Chain A
Amino acid sequence: MMEEENSTPDAVGLSWCDSSPLLWRIEDLKWFRSQGLVGALLGSLPRTPRQNGRMGRPLLLLPEEERLLTERCAAAALPAAKHCAVEGADVHQCVKQYEAEQQQSYEEQRVLALEDRKSALLRAMTSSHTDPQTSDEALQRRLEALDCSFTFPLSALAVQLSTARVGLTYCHEDRAFLQANWPIRKQDNPRCEVRYQVFSDLRGRGFYLTSAGKFGGDFLVYPGDPLRFHAHFIAVCLSLDESVCLLDVLAVARLGSNVKKTVLLCSAATDGNVLYTSLQWSGMV
C-alpha cells in the first residue's frame, strides 16, 4: 500500500515547521496549485531577497487546505530534520561525498571558466584584426599562454544554497518518507468546522481562495487563479444559529463596497449544503 502511495503523483510531501504545514519542493508546489489551492509564500525570493512584494518558498498551507489534502489522502508528512540526522560513520561518508562533489564541481567550473575566457579572447581578436595570418598565429600563442596562466580561484566557485532539503540522499528513512505519521490536528472549534465547509464548497465550485484577514473576513474568493484575477467576494463564515452584531455587518459591508468586493455571509446548513447571503450597500438616498 505504501508503494502505491509512493508512486501516485497526486500527493505532496508536507514538512512541519513549528507546527505549521509547509511545502518546499517545487513539484509539490506546482501540483498544489494545479488543484486550485493557493497557500501563502513565506520565504525571501532568491533573486531579490530584500523586498516583500514577491515572496518565495516555502509555501504555508491554510488549515482548510491542509484538511482538504488530508481528506483526499493527498498529503504525507515528510520526516523532520531531526529524524534525518545521520550518525557516526555515515556522517563521515556523507562529508566525504560532499567534499568530492565540491571538488568535482570546482574542476568542471574551472574548465567552463577557461572556455569562457577563451571564447571572449577569440571574439576580441577576430573582430579587431584584419590580417588573418598574423592574427591566427598571435591568437594561438595567446590561447596557449592563457592555458598555462589561467587560475580559477576557489572564491569564484559558484555554490548552491539549496532551498529544499537535499534530504533523501542524507536520510535514513528515504523510503518511509510517505509514511502516515500524520500529526492529527484537532479542529473541534465550531468556527473551524464552518470555515472548512465553506472552503471546500467554494473550492468545489471552482473558486480560488486565500485568507482575508486584511479585509476583515475569512476568505477572499477569486473567480480564477489569483495571479490573473481580482477577488470578487469577501467570505465571512458564520454558524447558522449565531447572532451577528448589526454594527459588524455594516462595517464589513461598508469595507467591501470600498474595495469593490461583495461581502458573502456563509453558513453551513445541517444537510451539508452551504448557504450564501450577499451583502451590498445599496447607496439609496
Chain B
Amino acid sequence: MAERNSTDSAESRYSEILSPSELFAARSRCHKIPVRGQKDFFPNDSDEQRQRLEQSLSEHWSLTSEERVERLGNLVKATWIPSDQVVELQSPAGKFWQTMGFSANGKQYLLPEEALYLMECGNLQVFYKDLPLSIQDGYERFLSSNTVSLLQYQVFGHLKRLGYVVHRFDPSSQPSTYARQLNLPQSQDKAGRPLKRKRSVSPTPMPTSSRTEKQDSTTEMMEVDKDEKDGKPPGSHLTTSPETLEVQCSATSTADEDGGRTWWAGDVLECKESNHSTTSTSSSRWDFSSIPFPDLGSRESLSDSLTSPDPSLLPGGLAVGVCDVATWRQKINLRKVAMSSKEQGREDDRRRRRGDVNKDREVQQCRNWTEYQELMARRQSRCDGRPAHLWNREVTPLHDPRQPLPTRELLEKISVIKSTNLLEGVSRLKESDEWGICFSVYQPDSVAEFKKSNPGKPYSHMCVCSFDGPVPDLRAIKLLASQTGDVPVVFAVVDYGDISFYTFKDFQLPLDVYP
C-alpha cells in the first residue's frame, strides 16, 4: 500500500496528462508563436528588465510545455515493429505518403525517422503493444546506431521542417564509377530502383520475381567488369559509345540461352580493354602481355574459329570450347584499304624520313652505347643553337626555346603542378567506412510532382557529423564525391542544437593570360 502511494505522488509530480476538458479546450488553441522582443545589452537589476525577463520566460515555458492535441480523425494510426525497426500503418496514410514511406507485401511502412518526424508534427499516433507511444518513447526506441542516430535525426528533422524531401541514401541506386565513365544510359537503373529501395528497407525477404534473370545477369557482369577495370586511371581510353555497349550486353544475355558463348563475349570485351591499358595497369592480376589477342581483321593467319584459351587463365572447373569467330568477322570491315598512288607515296616518304636507325652508317660504326650516345649528342648540338650544357644532363629545361608556342600553351607546358579536380584519381583510393552519406535531399519545390519510385536526381547528398569530430580529409572528400557523381556532397555539422551546412567544391582558378 505504501508503495502504491509513493507511485501516485511521483505520478502527480511528473505526469503531464491533460484532462478531457483541457483536451476539449485545446481544440481552439492559437497557433501563433509570440514574437521575441529586442534583447537588452546588459543586466542592470532594474524592475523593468526583471519584468521583461519574467514575461519572456513565461512565454517560453508556455510554448515548451504545450502538449500536442489532435482530433482522432486527423491522426494516422500505426504500430511499431521493433524486430524490423519499422512502423506499419494501420489506417490510410495522409498527404505525407507522397514523399515518405514504402510498401512491401501489400502493407504500408514508415522508416523510424519518418515516423518520429510525423509524430512530432502531430500527424501520426504510433502504438506498441496496443498502447500509444509518447514522443520520448519514439526518440528512445526509434533512434539507435542500427537505424538513425540522434545526430542524423536532428539533421533529418531540420531539413524536413524546411520542406525538403529527405530519403536515406541508397548506394545501390548510384551508377558505378565505371557506368559513369561510360556515360551509361540511366534507363536500366530506373527500372531497378524502386525494387531496390523496397529491398533494402523491407523487413522481410522480398521475392524478387519481378526482377528478371536477364537483368540480373547483365548487372552482375557489369559489376565484374567494374572490378577488373578499377585499377586503371580515369579518363578512360575506352571510347565505347552507349550503343555499342548495349550491343555487347544484349549479346551476353542472348548468349545465356544457348550457353557457352558468354565467356567469349566477356573475354573479347576485356582483352580489347586491357590491350589499351597494359602499360599503365599495375594492379591487374592478369599479365596481359602474355595473353595472345586474336587479330580478327587479318585474313591470312586466321581460321574461322579460335582455339580454347589456356585453362590456367580460366577459373577452376570451367570448360570453354572452341569459339566460332565467323559471326564476329561479319561485323568487321575486312576489305583491304586501297590507297591511291599519292597516299602510297606519302606513306613511303614518311617511312623513309623516319629512317631505320640500324641502317645509319655512323650508328653502325658505334661499338657500344656510350659511343652511340656521344654520337647522338654531337648530332644534336650540331643542329641547334641552344646551350648544349643545359640539355645533356638529367634535368633539362622545361621548354626548348627553338619551338615557339603561344603564351597559353607555354604556360600550360611549364606548370609543374597541374591542377586537379575532386574526382581525379579516386579509383586508386581504398574504400573507407569512416565517412558515409546519410541522406539524399530533394528540393521543396519538387514536392508537388515528386515520385518515390522515381525521385530523380537529388539536390544534394548529406553527410552528418559533429563539431566535436574531425574535419574530413581530402581522401574522404574525394571518396564521397566519387560516390555521388555530379550531385554535391553537403556536410551537416551539428553543434548541439545548431546545424551548419558546409560543402567542398572544386574551384577552377581563372586563367586570364591569353595570347
Distance between Cα atoms of A33 and B67 in the complex (Å): 20
Instruction: Name B150's contact: one of A17, A41, A177 (CB within 8 Å).
Output: A17
Q: Does B382 contact A (CB under 8 A)?
A: no
CA distance A189 to B139 in the complex (A): 28
B145-170 CB contact bits vs A (8 Å, 1 = yes)?
10001110010011001110000000
CA distance A50 to B312 in the complex (A): 65
With the chains together, A174 CA to B6 CA distance in Å? 9
Residues of A within 8 A of B52 (CB): 228
Instruction: Say whether B140 contacts A80, CB under 8 Å.
Output: yes
B496 to A211, Cβ gap below 8 A? yes
Chain A window 38-76, contacts with chain B (Cβ cutoff 8 Å), 1 for yes, 0 for no: 011111111111111111111010100000000000000
Task: Assess whether B72 is in contact with A159, with CB atoms less than 8 Å apart.
Answer: yes
Of A90-98, A127-135, A249-257, A265-273, which binds chain B?
Answer: A90-98
Contacts of B120 in A (CB 8 A): 43-44, 49
A4 CA to B15 CA, complexed, in Å: 21
Contact (A58, B136) CB under 8 Å given A18-B143, A26-B65, A158-B71 = yes
Chain B residue with minimal CB distance to A115?
Answer: B24
Within 8 Å by CB of B13, from A27, A159, A165, A223, lies: A27
Give residues 28-44 of B contacting A (CB, 8 Å).
Answer: 29-33, 36, 39-43
B366 at the interface (CB under 8 A from A): no
A45 contacts B40, CB within 8 Å?
A: no
Query: Given A160-B67, A211-B498, A225-B53, does the pair A47, B72 have CB atoms closer than 8 Å?
Result: no
From the candidates B14, B66, B119, name the one contacting A47 in the complex (CB within 8 A): B66
CB distance B31 to A105 under 8 Å? Answer: no
A136 contacts the other chain (CB 8 A):
no
- Residue A25 is within 8 A (CB to CB) of chain B in the complex: yes
Closest to A49 in B: B121
Residues in A whose Cβ lies below 8 Å from that of B117 = 44
Category for how many chain B residues contact A: 35 or more
In the complex, A175 Cα to B3 Cα: how many Å?
A: 8
Tell which of A149-157, A236-244, A277-285 binds the partner: A149-157
B497 proximal to A (CB < 8 A):
yes
Interchain CB contact (< 8 A) of A227 among B42, B56, B154, B163: B56
Q: Which of B2-31 contact A (CB under 8 A)?
A: 3, 6-7, 10-11, 13-18, 20-21, 23-24, 26-27, 29-31
CB pair B15–A166 under 8 Å, yes or no, is yes
Task: Say whether A213 faces chain B, with CB atoms less than 8 Å apart.
Answer: yes
Within 8 A of B (CB), among A94-139: 94-95, 98, 104-105, 108-109, 112-113
A91 to B27, CA, bound (A): 31
**Partner of B71 from A50, A157, A168 at Cβ < 8 Å:** A157
**A47-B29, A169-B15 given; A225·B6 CB < 8 A:** no
Asked if B315 lies at the interface with its beta carbon under 8 angstroms from chain A, I say no
Given the known inter-chain contacts A54-B33, A156-B71, please indicate yes or no for A163 contacting B136, CB distance below 8 A: yes
Give the CA-CA distance A112 to B26 in the complex, in Å: 12
Q: How long is the Cα–Cα vector from A159 to B150 in the complex, in angstroms?
A: 27
* Contact status B70-A161, CB under 8 Å: yes
Find B140's partner among A17, A170, A225 (CB 8 Å cutoff).
Answer: A17
Chain B CB within 8 A of A20 CB: yes
Give chain A residues whose Cβ lies under 8 Å from the Cβ of B21.
Answer: 108, 112
B137: CB under 8 A from chain A? yes
Q: Decide if B16 touches A163 in the complex (CB within 8 Å).
A: yes
Q: How many residues of chain A are within 8 Å of chain B by beta carbon?
A: 84
Q: Are A25 and B39 in contact (CB under 8 A)?
A: no
Q: Is the CB of B20 within 8 A of A108?
A: yes
Q: Is the CB of A214 closer than 8 A to any CB of chain B?
A: yes
A174 touches B7 (CB 8 A): yes
Q: Do B497 and A229 touch (CB < 8 A)?
A: no
Question: Are B139 and A58 within 8 A (Cβ)?
Answer: yes
Known: A17-B140, A154-B72, A164-B136. A104 touches B20 (CB 8 A): yes
The CA of A166 and the CA of B232, in the complex, are separated in Å by 61
Kindly supply a per-residue 1/0 record for chain A positions 172-187, scoring 1 wherever the CB is within 8 Å of any chain B CB and 0 otherwise. Answer: 0011010000000000
B234 is an interface residue with CB less than 8 A from chain A: no
A259 at the interface (CB under 8 A from B): no
Q: Chain B, 53-73, contact with A by CB distance < 8 Å: what is the 0/1 string? A: 100110011011111111111
**A residues within 8 A CB of B29?**
47
What residues of chain B lie closer than 8 Å to A62, measured between beta carbons?
Answer: 496
Query: Hey, what's the 0/1 contact readout for B82-120 against A, CB within 8 Å counting as 1?
Result: 000000000000000000000000000000000001011
Q: Which residues of B contact A20 (CB under 8 A)?
A: 150
Which residues of chain B have C-beta atoms less than 8 A from A86's C-beta? 129
The contact sample of 11 A-B pairs, CB cut-off 8 A, is A41-B64, A42-B150, A48-B33, A50-B163, A85-B129, A95-B129, A160-B67, A161-B122, A162-B17, A174-B10, A177-B10
Q: 14 extra interchain contacts, Cβ-Cβ under 8 A, other than A44-B161, A60-B497?
A: A27-B13, A33-B57, A41-B497, A47-B66, A49-B121, A52-B161, A98-B130, A112-B24, A159-B75, A162-B134, A163-B68, A164-B134, A211-B495, A228-B56
Question: Which residues from chain B sit less than 8 Å from chain A, CB to CB?
Answer: 3, 6-7, 10-11, 13-18, 20-21, 23-24, 26-27, 29-33, 36, 39-43, 49, 52-53, 56-57, 60-61, 63-75, 117, 119-122, 125, 129-132, 134-137, 139-141, 143-145, 149-151, 154, 157-158, 161-163, 467, 493, 495-498, 500
Task: Enumerate chain A interface residues (CB-CB to B < 8 A).
Answer: 6, 13, 15-18, 20, 22, 24-27, 29-30, 33, 39-58, 60, 62, 80-82, 85-86, 91, 94-95, 98, 104-105, 108-109, 112-113, 153-170, 174-175, 177, 210-211, 213-214, 223-225, 227-230
